[in-house]
Structure 1
Amino acid sequence: MFEEIVHTDTFVLLTSILLIAGVVTTKFSARLGVPALVLFIAIGMIMGSDGLGFIYFDNASTAQMIGVFALVIILFEGGLQTKWSNLKPVIAPSLSLATIGVLITSGIVGFAAWFILDLGILESLLFGAIVGSTDAAAVFAVLKGQNIKDRIGTTLEAESGSNDPMAVFLTVAMIQIITLPDTNIFSLIGMFFVQMGLGVLIGLLAGKLVVKALNRINLDSSGLYPILSIAFALLTYGVTSLANGSGLLAVYVLAIVIGNSEIAYRHSIFRFAEGFAWMMQILMFVILGLLVFPSDLFSLPVILKGILISLLLIFVARPIAVFASTINMNYTNKELIFLSWAGLKGAVPIVLATFPLLAEIEGSQLIFNVVFFVVLTSCLIQGTTITNLAEKLGLTGPKKTTPMHSLELVSLGKVNTEMIEYEIEDDSAIVGKTLQDIEFPDGAIVNAVIRFDQLITPQGNTKINPGDFLYVLTSKKSKPDVKRLLEEKKEPEEGEAKKSPKKKPKEEQEAK
């Protein structure tokens, strides 16, 4: 009994140390220019049996389970942040990259691995399937907070969020073909379309139901709403997977629907999902770092083979896949070069590399080690240079400003009000007006005005200037009317309207 308590206490202590170390490394990550996930993996490798020896971990099944759970949370958080207005124009290229692009990448790398890794052709194609997709966790982590142009950034995020089903399908299909030689390939292709279709359909339906549930249910504590949203994400994954659909795709679609809808406690849900996603990234990459043994990973054969495949993947397979799958989709060469370079590998390939281990495929340990090395190489080479490349190619936009969001009143009891934060733009209709001249809906009142980082106590004669942040306390019933008022644009002045005919040159002058 005493030994079990000591073991539990040790586990809690080590978990706390790993989480603290993971959070602290995010600061070093920004300063060193190295993606945080690389440092998380390094923590796991250092703490493991080949490092300091604090933790011995070689359970691929547990690592796979934790990895899938973490990916659900990460995809959910990424989908919440995806704006439909940015996503809609890039759906076609994103889906093309997520399907055709992954297939091309997997095929090229698979045939190359046949020569480099000295595996059978089927095992080599399995390797290609594992590393063929762009990783959502890596892309979301690297692009978060960067000022890369919306069209390119959204394309990458949508691709990485929707290509996991293709990678999972190809990996599972190849394992099935290897272990069951009589497998019907055409039935596998049909199964893929069923999985994708069910993923999108269930994700859409679940999203609409969750939005209604969040808005109508009245819980005793506001802190329960974020937990409920995460529970719905996990439920969506589970139901979709049991129905033989793509659970990961369903979660991503669910999150997009929720993120682009008006929901109660929106800000709390977003912030909780962001913090939870960070925690799951730390946990997942540390666990994956524990799973690998550095003495095997950094052996000369693995290093040489890993470098060859990494270079081929980065400079040949990914660019061919990007250029081929986006033909006639109005991307410039600079944009395609950036999309090619930003095809980061991360947690998904490592998690998928545990599938052959569990299926006891011949050469599975070599596949796992080389996949791990390829992921590290991709993160270190591509992940550290994405922002610089975007700047050199002229693909960075203006610095991102704080978007409109709700700051809920956190209370242990039931509340029916929210605090709206809104940044006043130059063309806003209320610019230049005083608060007493603005006809706010009943039940709405301005609580604070932030101007140049200074708090201004609102009074009737307080004039609204561009760049001000207004904090408006409103009832949930009046919230849509308040938003419409704040988003209303200024009418063009008569003087400006009269200038336009004068700017028309020769036609009117010749007519006169």
Structure 2
Amino acid sequence: MFADILHTDTFILLTAILLIAGVLTTKFSARLGVPALVLFMMVGMVMGSDVLGIIYFDNASTAQMIGVFALVVILFEGGLQTKWKTLRPVIIPSLSLATVGVLLTSGIVAVAAKLILDLGWLEAILFGAIVGSTDAAAVFAVLKGQNINERIGTTLEAESGSNDPMAVFLTVAMIEMITIPETSIITMIGSFFVQMGLGVLFGFIAGKLAVKALNKINLDSSGLYPIFAIAFALLTYGITAFMNGSGLLAVYVLAIIIGNAEIAYRHSIFRFSEGFAWMMQISMFVILGLLVFPSDLFTWDIIFKGILISAILMLIARPVAVYVSTIKMKFTNKELVFLSWAGLKGAVPIVLATFPLLADIEGSQLIFNVVFFVVLTSCLIQGATVTNLADKLGLTGPKKATPMHSLELVSLGKVNTEMIEYEIDSDSNLVGKTLLDIPFPDGTLVNAIIRNDQLITPTGNTRIKLGDFLYILASKSSKPKLKQILQEKQDQIDEETSNSYQSV
């Protein structure tokens, strides 16, 4: 009994140490020019048995479970942040990169793995499938808060969010072909389309249901709404996977629908999801770092072979896949160069590399070690240079405006109101108007304005300026009318609004 309590206390203490170490590494990552996720893995490797010997961890099954759970949360948060108006123009190239691009990348890497690692053809193709996709966790982490050109950034995020299912399918399919030789390729192809179709269908249905549920339910605490939203993501993954569909794709579709809808406590849901995603990134990469043994990883054989495969992946496979899969899609050569270099590898390949370990595939330990080294190389080299490359290629947009202050609301309980944050764009019809000039619906109140990082207490004569962040307290019933007023553009003023303005 006492031993069990001591074990539990030790686990809680170690978890706290790992999370604190992970959070602190984010503070130094920018100064060191190294993506935070690399430092997360380093924390795990240092804490592991080969270095400090504090934690011994070699359970691939547990690592896989934590990794998949973390990916669900990370994909959900990434989908929430994806704007439909920027996603719609790049759906075709993103899907092409997520399918054709992954196949081409996997094929070229498979040939390299066959020659360099001396694997059988099926095992080599399995290796290619594992490292063929662009990793959502890595891309979201590196691009978050950066001022990368919106079209290119959205293309990368949409590709990375939608190509994980392709990588999972290819990996599982190759393991089946290795362990069950009589497996039919035609059956697998049919299974792929079924999985993707079910993923989109269930994600869409769940997204619509989630939006309705979030807006209709009246919970006692605003803190319950983010948990409710996350629960929908986990439920969507579970049901879709149970029905043999792509759970990860379903979660991403669900998140896009929720993120682009008017939902109750939107601000709370977004902030909670962002924090939870960071926590899962830290946990996942630390666990994956614990899973690898540096004494096995940093041998001259693994280093030499890993560098060769990394070079082929970064300089040949990914560029070929990008240029071929985006033919006639109106990308400039500079944009294609950037898309080629920004094909980051991260947690997904490492999580997928645990699949052959659990299936006891011949050479699975070699595959895992080389995959880990390739991911480490990609994060260190590509992840650390992505932003600088975008700047040199002229693919950086205006600095993303983020308010330095935020209004934190105590729970409103069952009160039918919420705080709405809105940024004033250059083409907004509100620019130059005073608050008295704006026909706000009944039940709304502008509580604060953030301008140039300064808090302004609004009055009726306060004039709206470009870049202002308005914090508006509104009832749920007034939200549709408020949304219409806020989203009016200077060249889209209808007669009804003009008449309403004159009457006020």
Question: Shorter-chain TM-score category?
Answer: over 0.9
How much has 1:146 moved relative to structure 2?
A: 0.6
Quick one: structure 1 residues 4 and 185, their matched pair in 2 at CA, closer, same or farther if it must change by over 3 Å?
Answer: same
Quick one: structure 1 residues 5 and 328, their matched pair in 2 at CA, closer, same or farther if it must change by over 3 Å?
Answer: same
Aligned to 2:452: 452
Quick one: structure 1 residues 433 and 340, their matched pair in 2 at CA, closer, same or farther if it must change by over 3 Å?
Answer: closer
Structure 1 CA distance for aligned equivalents of residues 266 and 198 of structure 2: 27
Aligned to 1:314: 314
How much has 1:489 moved relative to structure 2?
A: 3.1
How much has 1:428 moved relative to structure 2?
A: 3.5
User: Superposed, which structure 2 residues align to 1:69-468 within 5 Å?
Assistant: 69-402=69-402, 409-411=409-411, 413-468=413-468
SS in 2 for 1:330: coil
SS in 1 for 2:445: strand
Amino acid at match of 2:299: S
Unaligned runs of 5+ in 2: 494-504
How much has 1:416 moved relative to structure 2?
A: 1.2
Quick one: structure 1 residues 206 and 99, their matched pair in 2 at CA, closer, same or farther if it must change by over 3 Å?
Answer: same
How much has 1:136 moved relative to structure 2?
A: 0.4
Structure 2 CA distance for aligned equivalents of residues 463 and 280 of structure 1: 42
Quick one: structure 1 residues 175 and 424, their matched pair in 2 at CA, closer, same or farther if it must change by over 3 Å?
Answer: closer
After superposition, what is the alpha-carbon deviation per residue over 1:118-160, rounded to whole angstroms, capped at 9, x for unaligned? 1111111111111111000000000001101111001100110
**Number of matched pairs:** 492
How much has 1:3 moved relative to structure 2?
A: 1.1
Structure 2 CA distance for aligned equivalents of residues 236 and 491 of structure 1: 41
Structure 1 CA distance for aligned equivalents of residues 246 and 111 of structure 2: 27
Quick one: structure 1 residues 427 and 84, their matched pair in 2 at CA, closer, same or farther if it must change by over 3 Å?
Answer: closer
Aligned to 1:63: 63
Amino acid at match of 2:291: L
Quick one: structure 1 residues 186 and 482, their matched pair in 2 at CA, closer, same or farther if it must change by over 3 Å?
Answer: same
How much has 1:241 moved relative to structure 2?
A: 0.4
SS in 1 for 2:477: coil
Quick one: structure 1 residues 425 and 97, their matched pair in 2 at CA, closer, same or farther if it must change by over 3 Å?
Answer: closer
Structure 1 CA distance for aligned equivalents of residues 110 and 432 of structure 2: 63
Structure 1 CA distance for aligned equivalents of residues 170 and 453 of structure 2: 52
After superposition, what is the alpha-carbon deviation per residue over 1:428-472, rounded to whole angstroms, capped at 9, x for unaligned? 333343333332211112222333333333233333333333322
Amino acid at match of 2:3: E
Structure 1 CA distance for aligned equivalents of residues 427 and 252 of structure 2: 34
SS in 2 for 1:328: coil
**2:21 aligned with 1:21:** yes
TM-score, normalization by structure 1: 0.93
Cα RMSD, aligned residues only? 1.7
Q: Percent identity?
A: 80
TM-score, normalization by structure 2: 0.95
Quick one: structure 1 residues 318 and 475, their matched pair in 2 at CA, closer, same or farther if it must change by over 3 Å?
Answer: same
Quick one: structure 1 residues 331 and 419, their matched pair in 2 at CA, closer, same or farther if it must change by over 3 Å?
Answer: same
Structure 1 CA distance for aligned equivalents of residues 190 and 435 of structure 2: 61
Structure 2 CA distance for aligned equivalents of residues 407 and 189 of structure 1: 51
Structure 1 CA distance for aligned equivalents of residues 101 and 252 of structure 2: 19
SS in 2 for 1:411: coil
How much has 1:59 moved relative to structure 2?
A: 0.4
SS in 2 for 1:446: strand
SS in 1 for 2:232: helix
The higher radius of gyration belongs to 1
Quick one: structure 1 residues 272 and 186, their matched pair in 2 at CA, closer, same or farther if it must change by over 3 Å?
Answer: same
Does the CA contact (< 8 Å) of 1:221 and 1:411 recur in 2? yes
